[in-house]
Amino acid sequence: MADVTLAEFNGSVWLVGGEQYIDDLLANMLPAEISIELLLCEHKSEVHDLWVKLSGEQDLTAQPWLIHPGIVARIRRSGPENALHFAEWSAALDDNARDTIATVAEWARLNPTGSLDIVEFLDAHGPQSIADLSRLRAQLVSEALVAAGVPAERIGRATRPVSDVAGMAQESRRIDIATKPAEA
C-alpha cells in the first residue's frame, strides 16, 4: 500500500490511510518520496472497510476525512498524466478514463507520426485472474482509443512489474497510456 491511501466512491474521496500526512496533503507539501494511491470503490462500505484496515478500529461515530474535489483534481494531475484507474474487479471505463482517452486521441491527431503504448502493471507471481482482468482492461482501453480515432497500428502494449512503481498495490488497478512522439 501507498503512504497515503484515498478511497473514491460515487464522486467523493476520503482519506483512508496515512492520516499523519493530511496537513501536507491539503497544503500540497507532501515530500516526493511519499506515495499516494487512489482506490475506486464500488460500494460505500468498501471506503469504511479500507479505513479500518489501514487506520485501525475507529469510534462508531467517526468518519474518515472527506477530501475536497479541488484537492483530488490536483492529486490526479500530479500523478501519471495518462493513468486510468479501475474499481476492484471492474473493467468499466469511468468518466475520468473516457476523458483521458479523449485527451490521448487528440494528442494522436496532433502527432500523426507518434505512437503510444498501453501499459499494464503486473506481479509476475500474482494470480492469473488479476493478469486476465488487466489484459481485459487494456483491451477495452485499446478499443476505446480506436473508436476515438487512433489507428490500431499506432497502439502498442507494454507490461511493467508493479514493483517499478512505489506504493503500487500488488493487485494493480491502473493502466497507463504512454505517448511517444516520433523520433526526429
Query: Considering the entire predicted model, what is its pTM?
Result: 0.62
For 44-61, the pLDDT digits (tens) are 999 999 999 999 888 878
**Cell 507539501, located at residue:** 29
Distance CA 173, CA 6 (A): 14
Percent of the chain with pLDDT over 70: 91
Q: Are 94 and 78 in contact (CB under 8 A)?
A: no
Residue ranges and CATH numbers for the domains of the chain are 4-78 (no CATH), 83-180 (3.30.1330.60)
Print burial letters for 93-119: b (CB count within 10 Å at least 16), e (below 16). bbebbeebbeebbebbeeeeeebbbbb
Q: pLDDT class for 77, splitting at 50, 70, 90? A: low
